[in-house]
């Protein structure tokens, strides 16, 4: 059974950093396209970043230069390193598997990130 | 990249049909046959309902169907049931290895 479990969320001050983890089971992270999507309070879903099976990475414009997506094949885990956090980054962050060309077939339950002083 | 436009809410009585629209541009919805729809129940993982405009994953009731015309995609729920009451989001490939979601629609079963 495919399962994704996020961890690492919490409260952080503006300008701070946080690293989210997403541990996968039932499939291999390295062989799949993996993404982060967020849901901010009162707003809709927003695609954040993706890492392709070959290792190429892409980001939504507002997080470029601040967020880094990566993976650890030995732990079958996806990460999102978030630096220079802003209040508008407050959201529930979901990891999701993308099936090419363009649909997310499996999702985690989400990790809440709150950026506030 | 601007969010795709969805109605804030739609409603219907049990057994009726409701349709949620998802309007984008020729750079996303209109440019690709890669529109998908997701159901979000609070506190639960989002669930894929429709992909590639019209395809339904196994396990999704055939009451859910998708279509597209020009820059607007649609999700129709036929035979509305109480458990369908929640939020729905569309998503489209937007080129240049990016993806864009809709603003979200709350479905209410009267």
Write the DSSP assignment of A9-58 as a string of letters: -EEE-TT--EEEEEEEESS-GGGSEEEEEEE-TTS-EEEEEEE-TTS-EE
Mean residue pLDDT across chain B: 96
**What is the β-pairing status of strands B105-109 and B87-93?**
antiparallel
Q: Do A39 and B98 touch (CB under 8 A)?
A: no
Taking any CB pair shorter than 8 Å as contact, residues of chain A touching chain B are 4, 35, 37, 39, 43-47, 50, 52, 56, 58, 60-61, 94, 96, 99, 101-105, 107-110
Q: Do B98 and A107 touch (CB under 8 A)?
A: no
Interacting residues of B33 by C-beta distance below 8 A, sequence separation 6+: B52, B53, B68
Q: What is the pLDDT of residues A64-114, one digit of tens each?
A: 999 999 999 999 999 999 999 999 999 999 999 999 989 999 999 999 999
Q: What is the pLDDT along chain B (110 residues), one digit of tens a residue?
A: 789 999 999 999 999 999 999 999 999 999 999 999 999 998 899 999 999 999 999 999 999 999 999 999 999 999 999 999 999 999 999 988 899 999 999 999 99
Distance from CA of B110 to the nearest CA of A (A): 23
CB-nearest to B98 from A58, A96, A110 is A58
**Length of chain A (residues):** 117
Using CA of residue A77, residue A107, residue B70, residue A100, what is the dihedral sign? positive
Tokens representing A15 are: 């300008």
DSSP secondary structure string, B28-47?
A: TGGG-S-EEEEEE-TTS--E
Q: Do B48 and A105 touch (CB under 8 A)?
A: yes
Cβ neighbours around A75 below 10 Å, total: 12
With an 8 Å Cβ cutoff, is B95 touching chain A? no
């Amino acid at each position: 059974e495919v399962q994704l479990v996020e961890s690492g969320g919490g409260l952080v001050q503006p300008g701070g950093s946080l690293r989210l983890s997403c541990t996968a089971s039932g499939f291999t992270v390295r062989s799949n396209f993996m993404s982060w999507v967020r849901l901010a309070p009162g707003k809709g879903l927003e695609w954040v970043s993706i890492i392709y099976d070959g290792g190429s990475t892409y980001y939504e414009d507002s997080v470029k230069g601040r967020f880094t997506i990566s993976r650890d094949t030995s732990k079958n885990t996806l990460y999102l390193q978030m630096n220079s956090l802003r209040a508008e980054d407050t959201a529930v962050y979901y990891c999701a598997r993308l099936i090419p060309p363009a649909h997310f077939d499996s999702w985690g339950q989400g990790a809440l990130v709150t950026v506030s002083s | 990249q601007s969010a795709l436009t969805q109605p804030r809410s739609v409603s219907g009585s049990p057994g009726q049909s409701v349709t949620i629209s998802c309007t984008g541009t020729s750079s996303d919805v209109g440019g690709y046959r890669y529109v998908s729809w997701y159901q979000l129940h609070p506190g639960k993982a989002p669930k894929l309902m429709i992909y590639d405009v019209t395809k339904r994953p196994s396990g999704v009731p055939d009451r859910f169907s998708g279509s597209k015309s020009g820059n607007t995609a649609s999700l129709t729920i036929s035979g509305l049931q109480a458990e369908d009451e929640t939020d729905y989001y569309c998503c489209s490939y937007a080129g240049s290895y990016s993806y864009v979601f809709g603003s979200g629609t709350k479905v209410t079963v009267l």
